[in-house]
Amino acid sequence: MMHSNMFSILHILFLATFAQTITAASPKATTLNGTYVGKHLSSWDQDAFLGIPYAQPPTGSLRFKWPQSLNTAFDEERTATEYGDSCMQYTQNWTMSEDCLSMNVIRPAGKPKKLLPVLVWVYGGGLYAGSSADPQYNLSGIVKVSQDIDEPILAVSFNYRLGMWGFLQNFNLLKEGNANAGLLDQRLALRWIQENIEAFGGDPDRVVVWGESAGAQSLAYHMFSYDGQDDGLYRGAILESGGITGAQIHDLSYYNVAFENLTRTVGCWDKKDQLACLRDLDEKALYAARPSLTWNPLIDGTFLTGYPSQLIRQNKFHSVPMIVGANTDETFCIGKVNTTEDLFYEMFRWRNYALSAPTARKLLELYPDDPCHQPPYHITNCSRPAGNYQGRRACAIGSDIAMISGRRKLAELFTESGEDVYSYRFDQLWYQRAEWDGVKHFDNVAYSFQNISGLLGPSPKYDSHAELANTIGQAYGKFINTLNNSVSGIIYLNTSQLYPGTACVANGFIGQLSVSAADFSVLAISVTTLLTVTRFMYIPNTSTTRKAFICVAVWTMPLITSLIPTIAGEMKPVGGNWCWISATRPDLRYAMTHGWRFFVILSTIIIYIYIWVYLRRHLGTKSRASRRTLSFSTRNTNTMFSKGSKDTGFRVMKEDEVELDTFGTRHGEVDALSSPAIFEQGIHWDRRREKTDEIEDMGIREVTNPNPQAPPQAQQNMLQTNASEFPQRRATHDVEVEIKRMMLLNGYPFILSALQMQRRTGSIII
C-alpha cells in the first residue's frame, strides 16, 4: 500500500498546501461537544478542520475495546488546524500514538447556505497500515473538482485502529464483546458524522462512503454488519480495488499461535488475566513486541454474524447505489513461480486463499500456459514473451480471486437488489512504466485524489493524465450529488471537454420534448375549454381531422424546441446520466424552454380570466335578472316558456338539466302533439304538476301570451327557427359535463365556487 518512491514529493506538496497564509477569517464549527476553529486554505479556496476527536482515547483500560463516544463538552474554542496522530501500525512514516481517533473535514470556503453532500474517505493498507494524514489522501483535490463543476461537496476522513490494536483476536476478547474494534471505530466515526456534520455545512442525509483496498473491504463488511441493518449512516458507496473477498476472515483458532507469541514476548502469557496485562503495558513496549502477522476481522456474532457468502444467501445485507471497480493488474500474486508446477504448488501454500487440488487444476485450465492468451497478460509479441511471464500468470489468477471476482459478485448482488451499480476497470499505465509491468494495485489512487503532480512526466503526456484524473473526479462528484453515473457516454480525453454519449443526448432530447409538451398541453386544454364555453365545441364529437390537427399543434413546438439544441450540439451533461441545454447557453435555454413557459403561463392565466368573466357575464345573477327564460328539464316534465330578450348561449342547471335562451312567446299549456322538434322522443308532458312546482323552485312566474291571436303554427315556427341556432341539442348535456371536467382538470375550481349559488336565486349550478 505504501509507495515510498512518491512519498517525498507528495509530502512536500502536502505541507505546502497547509502552509498557506490565512487570508480569510478562521472558520468555526460548533459540534455537540464544543466549537472548533479551523483554517482557511487560500490556494484551494477551502476551509479545513483537522484532528477533531470523534471518540475517547482508546488507551489504558480501553485498549483493544470497542470505541467509546465522547462524553465531555467544553466551552472554550479549540483549534483544529493540524492532523491528529496516526494510529499505531507496522510502518514508521507517521507520528503515531494510541490516542489517534480523529476526524478531518474539508469544505469549500465559508459555511454554505445549502447543506452539501458528504464524501467520507476510508483509507486502505491491509488493515495494518494507513493514515488520514497521508498526503496521497489530500481531500482538497476532489473537493476542488466538485467546486469547478458547480456541484460542491464536503469531504471527511478519519483514523481507525490497525493491526493488533484494532483487530486483536482472542477468546476472552470475543467473550468481552470487543472483537473487530477497528471496524467499530469506523462505525462510530460514521455516527459522529451523522450527529455533527451539519455544523460544518454537510448534509447528514446525503453521505457517500469511499474506500480503497482494505478501506473498500471494510465498507463491504459494514454492508453485511448486523445482518444488513440499515442505520442510515450512508446512502451510497464508492469501492476501489476491494470488496467482500479482500482479506480473509479466519476462525478464532487461526490466531491462537499469534496471540501466544505476543503474550509470551511481553510477559503476559502466564498471567491469569492476559488481556488486563496487555492493557497495562506501556505503549512503546507493546509496539516493540508487535508481531508481523496480519490480524483480520472475525465472525463475532454481533457486528458480523456470518461469512458474507452465508449472509448473501440469507439476503442479509444493506444494498446502496455504488461505484465499484478494480485495476487491470491488481498484483495479488501467488508466490514466486517459474513454471506451471511451481504455480500449482504455491496455490496450496498461499496464505490468503489456500486452494484445493481440483480448484487449482481448473484455474490452470482457465489461465493456460500461453503467452498469447488474452487477457490478462498484456503480451504484445507472442514470439517473445515478456520477462516473468509465469509470475504474471500467477498474479492474474491471484488478482482475479482477491479483487475482480468479488467486484463482479458485489455488482451482481446489488443490481439484483434493485440498486444502480456502476463498475469500472482502471487501465492507465503510469509514466514510463513498461506495459508488461501492468496497472498495479493502488495506481488509481493518485487519479482519484487529483494528486498526480510530479508522478506522470512532463507535458504534453502529462496533460492527458490530468484530464483523466479530472474526469474521474467529475464522475465521483456527480455520483456523490445524484447517486447516478456522472459522465455518460464516450469521453474524449485528448481535449478539455467532456462529450456526452448518445444515451445522455437522448435523455436530454426526450426530457426537453416531454417537458415542453406538458407546457403546451396545458395551453391546449385551456384553449379547448375556451372554445367549449364560447363556441359550444364538444371535442369528442368533432371530426377526426380536427382532432388530429389539435394533437399535431400540441407537439409541433415541443419538437422544434427539442430539435434545435440537439442539432446545435448544445445538449450537455448537467447531472447524473442526464443532458440538457448547456448552462453556457442561457440564451438558448430561455428561447427554447423558459421563454415559452412564461408565454404558456401568461396565456393560460389570461384565457381563464376571460372564461371566468364570460361565464359571470352570461350566467351570473345580474345577467339573469334582466332575462326571461325558457326552462327545460329531462327530469321535471313541466315546461314553461316565457318571453324575454333573445340572448345567445345556454344555461346549465344541473347534471341533467339545461336552461335555453328565449325563443319567443307561447301559451303556458302546450299540447304534447304540438311540442317542438327540439324535444327528444320519450319526453311527455305531465299535466298533473303543471306550473306550480317549477314556479316555486325557480322563482319564475307564468306570463300570459301577449299575442293570443298569433296562430300556434307561427309560434311553433318561431321556436324551431330559434332552435336552429343550437344544432347540438342532444349534446348540450355533454357540453355541460365537458365544461365541468375541464374546469376540474385545469385546477380551476374557483370558477365553480364563484358560480355556485342557491337554486332559489335561479343561478347556475354545475
- State mean pLDDT over 271-278: 96
CA atoms of 420 and 483, how far apart (whole Å): 8
Most confident of 73-87, 237-251, 281-295, 302-316: 73-87
CA atoms of 74 and 398, how far apart (whole Å): 51
| Range of weakest confidence among 102-111, 496-505, 530-539 | 496-505
- State mean pLDDT over 13-31: 63
Residue 86 is classified by DSSP as B
Q: Is 50 exceeded by the pLDDT of residue 700?
A: no
Cβ atoms 49, 33 nearer than 8 A: no
- State mean pLDDT over 473-478: 90
| Identity of residue 178 | N
Angle at 529 between CA 525 and CA 534, to 5 degrees: 150
CA atoms of 505 and 483, how far apart (whole Å): 19
Pick the more confident residue, 546 or 180.
180
Q: Which residue has 473526479 as its cell numbers?
A: 473
Give the bridge partners for 632, in sequence order. Answer: 658
- Which band of pLDDT confidence, cut at 50, 70 and 90, is reported for residue 251? confident
Q: Is 70 exceeded by the pLDDT of residue 454?
A: no
- Taking CA atoms, 436 is separated from 126, 328, 371, 378, 592, in Å, by 25, 12, 11, 6, 53
Most confident of 113-127, 481-495, 602-616: 113-127
- Which band of pLDDT confidence, cut at 50, 70 and 90, is reported for residue 477? very high
Q: Is 50 exceeded by the pLDDT of residue 194?
A: yes
197-226 in b/e form (b: 16+ CB < 10 A) is bbbbbbbbebbbbbbbbbbbbbbbbbbbbe
Which grid cell is 44?
Answer: 484551494
Q: What pLDDT was estimated at residue 611? A: 85
Q: Is 80 exceeded by the pLDDT of residue 119?
A: yes
- State mean pLDDT over 4-12: 45
Q: What pLDDT was estimated at residue 241? A: 93
CA atoms of 470 and 377, how far apart (whole Å): 29
Per annotation, catalytic residue among 240, 330, 694, 736: 330
Q: Is 50 exceeded by the pLDDT of residue 304?
A: yes
Q: Where are the domains of the chain?
A: 4-21+47-324, 502-616, 627-761
Give pLDDT tens digits for 620-637.
655 555 544 444 444 443
CA atoms of 412 and 415, how far apart (whole Å): 5
Per annotation, catalytic residue among 131, 213, 448, 488: 213
* CA 127 centroid distance within chain: 31
Is residue 43 part of the annotated active site? The answer reads no
Nearest to 142 by CA among 123, 121, 122: 121
Residue 161 is classified by DSSP as -
- Taking CA atoms, 216 is separated from 74, 127, 242, 412, in Å, by 35, 11, 5, 17
- Which band of pLDDT confidence, cut at 50, 70 and 90, is reported for residue 104? very high
| Range of weakest confidence among 141-155, 211-225, 448-462 | 448-462
| Range of weakest confidence among 161-170, 417-426, 645-654 | 645-654
Q: Say which residues have a Cβ less than 8 Å from residue 442's Cβ, sequence separation at least 6.
A: 1, 3, 124, 212, 213, 241, 327
Q: What pLDDT was estimated at residue 181? A: 98
Alpha helical stretches, state H, 206-321:
214-224, 256-266, 274-280, 283-288, 308-313
Average pLDDT taken over every residue of the chain: 78
Q: Say which residues have a Cβ less than 8 Å from residue 319's Cβ, sequence separation at least 6.
A: 223, 413, 414, 417, 418, 419
Give pLDDT tens digits for 662-696.
333 344 444 444 444 333 444 444 444 444 444 44
Residue 45 is classified by DSSP as T
Nearest to 103 by CA among 152, 63, 51, 149: 51
Q: Is 50 exceeded by the pLDDT of residue 504?
A: yes
* CA 276 centroid distance within chain: 48
- Which band of pLDDT confidence, cut at 50, 70 and 90, is reported for residue 439? confident
Most confident of 126-140, 425-439, 455-469: 126-140
Give pLDDT tens digits for 564-587.
999 998 887 765 556 888 877 888
Nearest to 474 by CA among 441, 494, 496: 496
Residue 375, preceding peptide bond in cis (omega within 30° of 0): yes
Most confident of 136-145, 396-405, 658-667: 136-145
Q: What pLDDT was estimated at residue 325? A: 94
Give pLDDT tens digits for 736-750.
666 666 565 555 444
Is residue 212 part of the annotated active site? The answer reads no
Give pLDDT tens digits for 719-736.
444 434 444 444 455 556
- Which band of pLDDT confidence, cut at 50, 70 and 90, is reported for residue 550? confident
Give the bridge partners for 50, in sequence order. Answer: 81
Give pLDDT tens digits for 491-502.
444 444 556 667
Q: Is 50 exceeded by the pLDDT of residue 717?
A: no
Q: What pLDDT was estimated at residue 629? A: 45
Give the bridge partners for 122, in sequence order. Answer: 211
- State mean pLDDT over 626-653: 42
| Identity of residue 542 | T
Pick the more confident residue, 546 or 172.
172
Strand order in the sheet with 650-654: 630-633, 657-660, 650-654
* CA 671 centroid distance within chain: 74
Which grid cell is 502?
Answer: 448518445
**Cβ of 728: how many Cβ atoms within 10 Å?**
14
pLDDT above 70 as % of the chain: 69
CA atoms of 631 and 640, how far apart (whole Å): 6
The topology under which CATH files domain 4-21+47-324 is: Rossmann fold (3.40.50)
- Taking CA atoms, 319 is separated from 203, 232, 249, 608, 724, in Å, by 20, 12, 21, 50, 70
Q: Is 50 exceeded by the pLDDT of residue 347?
A: yes
Residue 404 is classified by DSSP as I
Give pLDDT tens digits for 355-385.
888 989 999 999 888 777 655 555 556 665 5
Strand order in the sheet with 102-108: 39-41, 46-53, 102-108, 154-158, 116-122, 202-212, 236-240, 322-327, 421-426
Cβ atoms 116, 201 nearer than 8 A: yes
Q: Is 50 exceeded by the pLDDT of residue 177?
A: yes
